[in-house]
Amino acid sequence: GEDGSAGSAGGVFHCFTETADVARAALDLGFYISFSGIITFKKSQDLRDVAAFVPLDRMLIETDSPYLAPVPHRGKTNSPAHVPLVARQIAELRGTSIDTIAEVTSRNFGTLFTAAT
């Protein structure tokens, strides 16, 4: 802003793979954080840790098709049909249901992209 502050940028960090510090900075700027099938990969514990603290009202999920298929489809062509696998991983991390993750992230999508039009 004119006062030298960053202000609220808004938008989405697509296919997020950064650190917790980057996530916090993005959230502070008004961004949503979107997690893909990478969150299901064995070596992605740091990313799961980030997903555990990102507020649900600022979270999105995606597949990044045709790339980055989630476990158990890793190494194969990805598909939007695999979004529930990403939702399941997030639900397990957060101690909630897949339905809750689906409802919240769908609402977030609507909020983000309605605001952009």
For 32-83, write each residue's pLDDT tens digit: 999 999 999 999 999 999 999 999 999 999 998 898 889 999 999 999 999 9
30 falls within a domain:
yes
Which tokens sit at 55? 């507020």
Question: Residues 81-112: pLDDT tens digits?
Answer: 999 999 999 999 999 999 999 999 999 999 98
5 falls within a domain:
no
43 falls within a domain:
yes
3 falls within a domain:
no
41 falls within a domain:
yes
Q: Which long-range contacts (CB under 8 A, 24 or more apart) does 19-25 make?
A: 19/46, 19/50, 20/46, 20/49, 20/50, 20/53, 23/50, 23/53, 23/54
Work out how many domains the chain is built from and give that number: 1
7 falls within a domain:
no
- pTM of the shown model: 0.88
Its domain, for residue 94, covers 12-115
57 falls within a domain:
yes
What CATH number is associated with residue 36? 3.20.20.140
